Every structure is written in structure tokens, then in C-alpha cells.
């Protein structure tokens, strides 16, 4: 080399260019190979293996069963059905306790207190009948199922089962033209869709990542599990003999969750064959070893991090929603409440798709958080039917003592089994909550895709419930 030339960055780069041609095309592979060889040499020196490792084989045997083509899916369904059954069976009683405590004991005390202060009627109504009751309802209806469901789910996760589910589903996602890792982001979506959308960062290809984002909403989230569980218990479970009611309800919830997976696959397939065409990337999915979960720590952290976190979010949204509901139910325009006008206006569409105006209005109020759909539905139903004996006046979110009473009320509001079924379907297939939409906007950086993410599932929900309603009305007596 001529040393008279000064060494510049450009010269070094040019040199690298020339040398690259001299060293041969296999240089990269050679390099990686030498790295592997060295790693293997060092590992061999450091690790002493026993003659045989029986426990290793235990892991493999378990894997062979849970990821087998024959047993993989049935086992998965059984496991999840079991989790839901425990949730449904276990949550009823504590729900009732909480309702009795918060509404039959604490509320009268608060009422007395506000009366002793001589507060105007509307302040008392807005704060206690609106905001306090909405919050109390959310706590009593959501806390028990979440406190059972989340720890169970977290235990499964810590044990290492979820990657096996992802492994089972991977094949299907690939066939749908999506990335196999989408099965993992969907698993996250079963907790929270906003979290699931953020998790799509593990997908490298922008095309596949967008598909994963747009379809994450089809994974039932925390806010929607309680709706599914409640409606399944009072409508579907009620059609079965009492002994089987819990199992049948659990099966219905699993059915809806499966339908969500199907919708996710179908939408991915549709997108990857139209607007988001492209190659499927390959990747390696590592199945981690099974690890015995640390039981008490898992229970503790899932209660603190997941249950209380979600509950707090629900309460934060329930407080203003309670105020809004109380206001639309009490503000009168032309002799009818604002809510009445809105419900009348939405009712024709609602009936057409096997729902009603009340449910659609509740979904509008619940755009910020799916958690408050059911409370909103119940109070609006009372308002419209003027049912006496439940609720205590226009716009009061109330607690019903048992599933039976809820059923009675909803029937008085004109609900049938079809309404229940379609509500479960619509709860699965509708626009994501505003938090998820905002997350999609932030992650995709595109308003257009955010609008698609909102309208696509909504359109699917309208179409599906419409067809179910038409078929039902023809087939059912």
C-alpha cells in the first residue's frame, strides 16, 4: 500500500469494496460457522452432561401431545373451556356480595349523607345515581371474573403453554398469508388489544405487521370477556338443564373466542390477497421449556398488574360514562329524554340486525371502553320499558341481584335468545375501543389504516348479525 496517500474514510470503504470480491462469496457463512464452532467448543468444555436426561424427555413428550395434529386443538379447547368454566362458576357469588355491599349498604349511607348536607337533587343524581352506581356496577361485575380469569391465564402463560398454542395456530396463519408470529400477538390481544397492537412490533415485514394490527381486534379483550360471560350465563346457560348450565355457558364463550380466531384468519386471508399482497416470511418459533410457575407470585402479580390495572381503567371510564348516561336519560327535549330520541332513531337498524336501539346506543357510549357496555344496556333498558321494581328512576345504573332478575328485565325489554346471541357476536365484531384505535394510529402512522381498522370489523359485525337475524327469523318458530 502506498503510504503517501492519507487514509480517508472513503478510501477505507473503497478498499473494503474491492476486498469483498477477493475473499469469496462464502465468507459470511464461513464466519458464522466459525462462530458456531467456537461457541460449541466453549460450551462443551464448560458443560458436563449426565448419561441420560429423563426429564428432558418429559418436556418432549408433553410437547408431542399438546402440539400434535390430532390432539393439539381438542386439548386447547378443553383447557380454555376449563378456565372459563372455573371463572363463570366461581364469579357469581362474590359478584353478588360486592353488589350487596356497594349498593345495598354503602349507597344508602351516601344518600343519607348527601340528604343531610341538603345537596340539590341534580348534584345528588349526577354523582350518586350516575357516577357512583356506574363505578360500583363495574367493580362488582368485573372484579370477580377478572380476579379468577387473569391468574389462571397467567399461570398457563408462565407454565409455557401459550407458545404451544401459537405453534398450533402458526400453520393456519401462514396459510392465510400472514406471519406466524401473528399467533403470538393475537395471544396478547386476548388480554388487551392495544397491547396486542404494540406487540406486532415483533413482526419485521410491514405488510404482515399491518395485517396483524388490523386483525388484532378479533381477539376478545379484557373489556369484552365479562360481557361474553354474563350474556352466555343468562341466555345460553339458561337453555340447558341447571347442572349443565355452567358448562354450556363456558362452551358458548369458547365458541365465540374461536369464531374470533376464524374471523382473524379469514380477514388476514382476504387482506393478503387484495390490498396487502406479498410473500409470507418464515421465522423460527422457539418452544421454551416448561417451567413450573411460581404460584403465589403469579397470583399476586397478575392481581396487581393485570386485574387492578384493568379495573382501574374501567373505573376511570365508568365515572364519566355514568354521568353521560344520567344526563341523556334526564335531559328532556320535547317531552322525551335525549336517550329516548336516540334509541328511537337507532331502533330500526338495531331490530334489523337482531339487536335493538338500546344496545346500539350503549355501544356508542362505550366507545372509550368496552367494559361499560352491559351497565349502559341495563340502565337504558329500564328507562325505555319503565319496568317498575328495579332501578330507582331515570338513568340510574343499578345492580340486579341475580342472573334470573337480569333475564327478566331484558325479556321485558323485548330481548330474546336471538338478541343474546347477536349481542355476543356484535361484542366480538365491532370497532375497537378508542385506546386501541389510537394505538393503531401511533403504530401505523396512518389515518387511512386506522379508519379501516375501525370500520372493517364494524361492517363485518353488521353483516354477520344481519344474516344471523334473517336466518333465525326464518328457521325459529
Partner 1 sequence: MSTTPSVAPESACTGCPAHHLSNLRRLGVEMEDWDYVVALAGNPNVGKSTVFNSLTGLRQHTGNWPGKTVTRAEGGFEFGKQRYKIVDLPGTYSLLATSPDEEVARDFILFGQPDVTVVVVDATRLERNLNLALQVLEITPRVVVCLNLMDQARRLGLQVDDRRLARDLGIPVVPATARYREGLDTLLQAIAGVATGDIVGKPHRSLQEPPALRKALTTLVEHLTQLHPGLPNPRWVALRLLDGDERITAAVRSGEIADLATAQGRPLPTAPAAASAA
- The CA R_g of the chain, rounded to the nearest whole Å, is 28
- Is 241 or 286 the residue whose CB approaches partner 1 more closely? 286
**Under the criterion CB under 8 A, does residue 219 sit at the interface with partner 1?**
no
- Is 7 or 244 the residue whose CB approaches partner 1 more closely? 7
- What whole-number distance in Å separates Cα of residue 36 and Cα of residue 30? 10
Characterize 96-130 residue by residue with b for buried, 16 or more Cβ atoms within 10 angstroms of its Cβ, and e for exposed: bebbeebbeeebeeeeeebeeeeeeeeebbbbbbb
Q: How far is the CB of 49 from partner 1 (least distance, A)?
A: 6
Q: How far is the CB of 53 from partner 1 (least distance, A)?
A: 5
Binding residues for partner 1 restricted to 53-82, rule: CB under 8 A: 53, 55-56
Q: Tell me if 428 sits within 8 A of 224, measured CB to CB.
A: yes
What pairs with residue 332 in β-bridges? 337
**Under the criterion CB under 8 A, does residue 278 sit at the interface with partner 1?**
no
Q: How far is the CB of 288 from partner 1 (least distance, A)?
A: 5
Q: Which of 60, 175, 277, 294 binds partner 1 (CB under 8 A)?
A: 294
Binding residues for partner 1 restricted to 176-215, rule: CB under 8 A: 181, 184, 198-199, 201-202, 204
**Under the criterion CB under 8 A, does residue 14 sit at the interface with partner 1?**
no
Structure letter (DSSP) for residue 288? P
Q: Return the HEC string of 411-451.
A: HHCCCCHHHHHHHHHHHHCCCCCHHHHHHHHHHHCCHHHHH
**Under the criterion CB under 8 A, does residue 442 sit at the interface with partner 1?**
no
**Under the criterion CB under 8 A, does residue 312 sit at the interface with partner 1?**
no
Q: Tell me if 451 sits within 8 A of 206, measured CB to CB.
A: no
**Under the criterion CB under 8 A, does residue 46 sit at the interface with partner 1?**
yes
Number of residues assigned to the chain: 477
Q: Tell me if 358 sits within 8 A of 415, measured CB to CB.
A: no
Q: Provide the 3-class DSSP secondary structure of residue 333.
A: strand
Q: Provide the 3-class DSSP secondary structure of residue 332.
A: strand
Q: Which of 2, 121, 291, 448 binds partner 1 (CB under 8 A)?
A: 291
Cα torsion 34, 38, 39, 44 to 10°: value is 140
Q: Which of 76, 102, 103, 162 binds partner 1 (CB under 8 A)?
A: 162
Q: Which of 157, 269, 349, 407 binds partner 1 (CB under 8 A)?
A: 157
Task: Give Cα separations from 271 to 213, 263, 264, 395 (angstroms).
Answer: 12, 12, 10, 43
Quickly tell me which residue has 408433553 as its cell.
Answer: 62
Q: How far is the CB of 387 from partner 1 (least distance, A)?
A: 44
Q: Which stretch binds partner 1 (CB under 8 A): 11-19, 64-72, 123-131, 373-381?
A: 11-19
**Under the criterion CB under 8 A, does residue 289 sit at the interface with partner 1?**
yes
- Is 43 or 474 the residue whose CB approaches partner 1 more closely? 43
Q: What's the grid cell of residue 386?
A: 319503565
Q: How far is the CB of 47 from partner 1 (least distance, A)?
A: 5
Q: How many residues bind partner 1 (CB under 8 A)?
A: 62
Interface with partner 1 (CB under 8 A): 1, 7-13, 15-16, 19-20, 22-24, 27-28, 30-32, 34-40, 42-50, 53, 55-56, 157-160, 162-163, 166, 181, 184, 198-199, 201-202, 204, 285-286, 288-289, 291, 294, 301, 304-305
Amino acid at each position: 500500500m502506498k503510504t503517501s496517500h492519507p487514509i480517508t474514510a472513503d478510501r477505507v470503504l473503497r478498499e473494503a469494496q474491492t476486498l469483498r470480491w477477493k475473499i469469496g462469496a462464502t465468507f459470511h457463512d464461513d464466519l458464522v460457522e466459525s462462530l458456531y464452532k467456537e461457541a460449541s467448543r466453549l460450551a462443551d468444555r464448560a458443560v458436563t452432561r449426565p448419561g441420560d436426561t429423563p426429564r428432558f424427555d418429559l418436556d418432549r413428550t408433553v410437547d408431542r401431545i399438546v402440539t400434535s395434529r390430532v390432539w393439539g386443538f381438542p386439548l386447547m379447547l378443553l383447557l380454555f373451556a376449563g378456565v372459563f368454566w372455573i371463572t363463570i362458576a366461581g364469579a357469581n357469588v362474590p359478584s353478588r356480595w360486592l353488589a350487596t355491599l356497594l349498593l345495598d349498604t354503602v349507597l344508602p349511607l351516601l344518600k343519607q349523607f348527601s340528604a343531610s348536607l341538603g345537596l340539590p337533587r341534580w348534584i345528588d343524581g349526577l354523582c350518586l345515581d350516575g357516577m357512583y352506581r356506574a363505578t360500583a356496577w363495574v367493580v362488582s361485575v368485573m372484579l370477580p371474573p377478572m380476579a379468577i380469569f387473569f391468574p389462571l391465564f397467567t399461570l398457563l402463560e408462565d407454565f409455557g403453554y401459550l407458545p404451544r398454542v401459537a405453534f398450533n395456530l402458526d400453520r393456519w396463519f401462514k396459510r392465510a398469508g400472514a406471519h406466524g408470529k401473528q399467533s403470538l400477538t393475537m395471544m396478547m390481544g386476548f388480554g388487551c388489544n392495544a397491547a396486542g397492537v404494540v406487540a406486532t412490533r415483533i413482526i419485521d415485514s410491514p405488510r404482515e405487521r399491518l395485517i396483524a394490527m388490523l386483525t388484532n381486534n378479533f381477539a376478545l379483550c379484557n373489556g369484552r370477556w365479562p360481557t361474553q360471560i354474563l350474556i352466555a350465563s343468562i341466555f345460553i346457560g339458561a337453555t340447558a338443564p341447571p347442572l349443565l348450565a355452567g358448562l354450556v355457558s363456558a362452551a358458548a364463550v369458547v365458541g365465540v373466542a374461536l369464531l374470533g380466531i376464524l374471523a382473524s384468519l379469514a380477514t388476514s386471508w382476504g387482506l393478503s390477497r387484495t390490498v396487502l399482497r406479498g410473500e409470507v416470511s418464515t421465522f423460527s418459533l422457539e418452544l421454551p421449556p416448561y417451567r413450573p410457575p411460581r404460584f403465589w407470585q403469579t397470583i399476586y402479580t397478575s392481581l396487581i398488574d393485570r386485574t387492578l390495572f384493568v379495573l382501574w381503567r374501567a373505573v376511570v371510564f365508568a365515572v364519566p360514562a355514568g354521568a353521560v348516561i344520567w344526563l341523556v336519560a334526564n335531559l328532556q327535549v320535547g317531552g322525551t329524554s335525549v336517550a329516548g330520541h336516540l334509541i328511537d332513531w337507532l331502533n330500526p337498524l338495531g331490530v334489523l340486525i337482531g339487536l335493538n336501539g338500546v344496545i346500539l346506543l350503549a355501544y356508542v357510549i362505550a366507545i372509550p371502553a368496552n367494559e361499560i357496555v352491559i351497565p349502559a344496556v341495563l340502565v337504558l333498558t329500564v328507562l325505555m320499558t319503565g319496568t317498575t321494581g328495579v332501578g330507582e328512576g331515570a338513568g340510574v345504573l343499578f345492580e340486579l341481584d341475580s342472573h334470573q332478575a337480569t333475564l327478566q328485565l331484558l325479556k321485558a325489554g323485548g330481548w330474546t335468545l336471538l338478541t343474546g346471541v347477536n349481542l355476543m357476536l356484535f361484542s366480538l365484531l365491532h370497532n375497537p375501543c378508542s385506546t386501541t384505535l389510537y394505538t393503531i394510529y401511533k403504530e401505523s402512522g396512518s389515518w387511512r389504516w386506522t379508519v379501516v381498522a375501525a370500520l372493517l370489523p364494524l361492517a363485518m359485525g353488521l353483516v354477520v348479525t344481519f344474516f344471523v337475524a334473517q336466518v333465525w327469523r326464518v328457521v325459529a318458530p
